[in-house]
Structures are given as C-alpha cells and as structure tokens.
Amino acid sequence: MITQLFILSSKGDLLIHKDYRGSSTNTNVAEGLYRKLSSMPSDQAPVVTEHEGCHFINVRHQGLFFVIGINSNDSPFMYIELLNRLASLIKDYCGDLSEAVVRLNFALIYELLDEILDYGYIQTTSTEMLKNFIQSDAVVSKPFSLLDMSSVGLFGADTQQNKVAPSSASSRPVLSSRHQQGDQNEIFLDVTERMTVAIRANGSFLKADVQGELRLKTFYPNCPELRIGVSEEFCVGSSELRGYGSAVRVDSCQFHESVKLDEFESNRILKVSPPQGELTVMQYQVSDSLTTTLPFHVFPSLEREPGSSHLRIYLKLRCDLNPKSQAINLRIQIPVPKGTSSLSQDLSSPDQSAELIPNTQSLFWNIPRVRGGTQLSALFKVDIPGSISLPSLLDLPPLNLSFQIPSLTCSGLQIRFLRLPCERLSPTHTWVRYLTQSDSYSIRLR
C-alpha cells in the first residue's frame, strides 16, 4: 500500500505531492530524502531508502526523482514498475518529460494520479482506460516558431511535433508518443451531448433539451468509405416508430453534405468518405422528451438564523445515474446576496471544496467525481447584510451545475459499429467514445 507519492526536481524542489495516509511529507523531509538520493551515482539502479523511519522507493527519469512511500513489509518491485509507468504516462500525455513540463502540467499530472491510485491502491496504468477519464489538456512547453516547421502537425502547431497526447474526452483522442499521427491508421468517433435543463425547486423539470453531434476524426490518409451504424430504433420525429425496444427519439437531425443516406431509412447506416482531419457527421436535438432520467437533482434550503446575520444554506445532491456510471468535474454555483462574506462549510467528503467569490455573488461547491445512485450533502454558513429580509433571499437566481459524464448519452443513442471495407490494405484502429456535459443546468430556489 502506498502512503505518499511525490516528484522532486534535480535541485530538490517538491514539484508533485500526494498524501494517501496523512503522512504529511513536509519540505524538510523532502530535502533530507533528496540529499540521500542525490549522493548516489547517476547510473545506480532504483533503490529502497529508509528515511526518518519511513521506507521510500525511487527511480530517476530525465533528472527527476519519482518517489513513493510504502509500508515496510511491501515488495518493492511492483512499485518500481509503477513509477516507471507513471514517467511514461507523463511523457505520453505531455510530449516530453522535464522539470518545466511537470511545472506547466501539474493539473494534468494530479488528474492522472487520481485515476491511477485510489487511497494508495493501484487501479490502472493503461493509457486506453485512462484516456476516457482524463479531462485536462497538456500545456505545450516549447513555443511555436515559424522558422521551425517540424513543430507543425496535422491540426497546427499546438500538437507539439505530434507527440502530445491530448486528453479532452469530447474532442481529441489520446495518441501514443511512440508513433507519429501520419503513421497511424486511426479513426475516432465522438458522440457528444450537451444538456440544457431547468428544474423547479420541488424537483420537477421545466425544460430538458439535448444538443448532440457525431464528430469523426481520422488520421487515415485516403480513408475509404466508412460505415457507421447507429441505434436500430433511432427515430426522427414523434410520429415514426421503429423496433420493439425503447426507441431513441430525436426531434430534428442534420447530416453533413458528404454523408450518404441510402441505407439510413432501412438499416440506420451512415456512409461517409471522411477527409484526414475532423468532420461533424450528424447533429441532432431532443426537446423535452428524454427517455432517461435527469442525471442530477439538487434540493436547496435557505434559513436565516434569528437575531444574527448568518445565512444557513443546506444542499442535498442526488445523482440519478446508473451505479456503474459517474460524473466528473461537478461544480455547483450557488447565488448569494450582495455583500455576503465569511464562508464556513461542512462537506460530506474531504476531496470536495467550496469557495466564496463576492464579486460574482456566488458560492461554488466543487466535487471531483460522484457515482450514480449516491447522495451528497453540504452545509454552508455565510454572513449577509442585516438589511436583507427572507423574501429577498428567495428571489435569488437559480442554482447552476456544470459537469461531464463520460461513457454515457442521455438520449440513449449508441453506435452499433464503425467499419471499413474488408479489403483495406493495412490494419486500422477504430474508437468510439461517449460524453454528456452540461450547457445550462439550473435549479430554481422556489
């Protein structure tokens, strides 16, 4: 079991630190450990080091020290492989591995660590699994120069010589750093939906619209005709009935001009010969007729303490997703009266946070992830001006939620297959990903 993990620079600076068991690695411990590590020969194999009664495993990459603390009875070999794999993942996602890269991409690295380790237990180090959950974009450390055309990739200079593995689940796919984009026959299809929802204070909805699109991205030069099979029970308009299961109904649907629809009516198959790059194959809209339940309900309660300037805000968040699904990067914006100050909080989990931003008259509750079928609660206490009455408090604007739900579509649309002709000359990798995210998700206070 891992107690802590950190990355030290070649000068001993603490760049990354994660504490999984409350071991509180402070600067003095890091400096003392660095002096031990830096005194070893540069060609020495990874070692287990004891420092101040704790056991540490370290490996070196590009002048950086990757260090983890473990229990004394743990075998070190698995953790040495973990550190080497972590260094490879950072290089794959950021395009390089150096002190400058780590400093610029600390948010991305922390997000990687959150997915790789859960309370000190290893979950996965597979790039293919991680690419569905990593949301941060890599920051390019090398500035673009018109004199250096080697940095210009398929989609422009921001690809950093085609080595950076982007991580936005709704846009760019993760690429391996061991290959160039032009050398890979890869095709990605992203099904992205944006929700616009308005909910009453009692939980019933006023409006629930979904804007969706099928975006194709191919690195296959001279790609032959591609066949995309969508849900067989896909229905356009309320009058059309197809299949015997739960139908996927949309109110309107638009296709790119290059899409052939001769098999769409009979078999729900789209045929397209995509260019190298990005192409929006189909756009669709669903209005107030969702077949699935809304992903979130928030039940707010505002109470002013008698004889004081304190306002108590109690929120209960219910996630109605399937227990196998989860939402990430959840952020709830809570309106507060003008002049509000002095926030105190009681949150249901230590990985959550809250902040009061007086300039925007908002209180933000940040939740890294929430699994379907769970409930979270939060109690906030703020100081408000004494001249504000309770009826004025109820006239505040609605709550707003922002979130992302990987591997899910609220409309129920699924891709049955993504195929190329059987006579293709070289092996091709195809990927399909789903993402639902908020556009405007508001809940009224009354």
pLDDT digits (tens, 9 = 90+) for 1-24: 788 888 988 888 888 888 877 655
Pick the residue with more confidence: 70 or 247?
70
Domain-located, residue 17: yes
Based on the fold, state whether residues 17 and 111 are members of the same structural domain.
yes
What average pLDDT does the segment 44-71 reach?
80
- Evaluate if residue 276 carries a pLDDT over 50: yes
Domain-located, residue 178: no
Q: Average per-residue pLDDT in the chain? A: 79
Residue 445 makes CB contacts below 8 A (sequence gap 6+) with: 201, 300, 302, 335, 394, 396, 398, 399
Q: What is the CATH number of the domain that holds 301?
A: 2.60.40.1170
Based on the fold, state whether residues 309 and 245 are members of the same structural domain.
no
- pLDDT-derived band at 320 (thresholds 50, 70, 90) equals very high
- Evaluate if residue 181 carries a pLDDT over 70: no
Pick the residue with more confidence: 429 or 168?
429
Based on the fold, state whether residues 15 and 67 are members of the same structural domain.
yes
- Interatomic CA distance for residues 342 and 353, integer angstroms: 15
Contact 245, 233 (CB under 8 A): yes
Which spans in 268-380 are helix H? none
Based on the fold, state whether residues 322 and 388 are members of the same structural domain.
yes
Based on the fold, state whether residues 321 and 399 are members of the same structural domain.
yes
Weakest-pLDDT range from 69-83, 93-107, 111-125, 160-174: 160-174
- Evaluate if residue 279 carries a pLDDT over 60: yes
- Evaluate if residue 154 carries a pLDDT over 70: no
Please count the structural domains in the chain: 3
- Interatomic CA distance for residues 108 and 111, integer angstroms: 5
Structure token digits, residue 269: 């198959």
Phi-psi region of 161 (alpha: psi -120 to 50; beta: other; left: phi over 0): left
Angle at 204 between CA 253 and CA 441, to 5 degrees: 55
pLDDT digits (tens, 9 = 90+) for 118-131: 878 888 888 777 87
- Evaluate if residue 427 carries a pLDDT over 70: no
Residue 62 makes CB contacts below 8 A (sequence gap 6+) with: 87, 97, 98
- Evaluate if residue 69 carries a pLDDT over 80: yes
Domain-located, residue 63: yes
For residue 150, the one-letter residue type is S
Predicted pLDDT at 426? 61
Question: Which of the given ranges, 136-145, 165-174, 252-261, 334-343, has the highest pLDDT on average?
Answer: 252-261
Based on the fold, state whether residues 271 and 418 are members of the same structural domain.
yes
Based on the fold, state whether residues 369 and 426 are members of the same structural domain.
no
Domain-located, residue 143: no
- Phi, psi (rounded to 5 degrees) for 65: -105, 120
Which spans in 95-208 are helix H? 99-104, 106-116, 127-130
Cα-Cα-Cα-Cα torsion 39, 41, 44, 46, nearest 10 degrees, comes to 30
Predicted pLDDT at 434? 93
Based on the fold, state whether residues 288 and 302 are members of the same structural domain.
no
Predicted pLDDT at 45? 54
What average pLDDT does the segment 214-225 reach?
83
Domain-located, residue 233: yes
Weakest-pLDDT range from 65-79, 89-103, 151-165: 151-165
Based on the fold, state whether residues 257 and 402 are members of the same structural domain.
no
53 is in which domain, residue-wise?
2-128
Based on the fold, state whether residues 123 and 6 are members of the same structural domain.
yes
Based on the fold, state whether residues 104 and 70 are members of the same structural domain.
yes
Domain-located, residue 425: yes
What average pLDDT does the segment 386-411 reach?
81
- pLDDT-derived band at 387 (thresholds 50, 70, 90) equals low
Closest CA to 326 of 269, 367, 278, 380: 367
Pick the residue with more confidence: 242 or 373?
373
Tally Cβ neighbours within 10 Å of residue 96.
20
Q: Residue 267 in 3-state DSSP?
A: helix
Predicted pLDDT at 220? 72
- Evaluate if residue 367 carries a pLDDT over 90: yes
What average pLDDT does the segment 58-71 reach?
86
Based on the fold, state whether residues 47 and 195 are members of the same structural domain.
no
pLDDT digits (tens, 9 = 90+) for 295-312: 998 988 888 877 777 888
Contact 332, 401 (CB under 8 A): yes
DSSP state of 20: S
Predicted pLDDT at 376? 93
- Interatomic CA distance for residues 197 and 444, integer angstroms: 11
Domain-located, residue 209: yes
Domain-located, residue 165: no
Predicted pLDDT at 24? 54
Confirm whether pTM is higher than 0.85.
Answer: no
- pLDDT-derived band at 404 (thresholds 50, 70, 90) equals very high
Q: What is the CATH number of the domain that holds 10?
A: 3.30.450.60
- Evaluate if residue 272 carries a pLDDT over 60: yes
For residue 185, the one-letter residue type is N
- Evaluate if residue 365 carries a pLDDT over 70: yes
- Evaluate if residue 337 carries a pLDDT over 90: no
Could you write out the DSSP letters of every residue in 42-56? TTPPPEEEEETTEEE
Angle at 408 between CA 407 and CA 413, to 5 degrees: 120
Measured in whole angstroms, the distance separating CA 356 from the mean position of its chain's CA atoms is 24
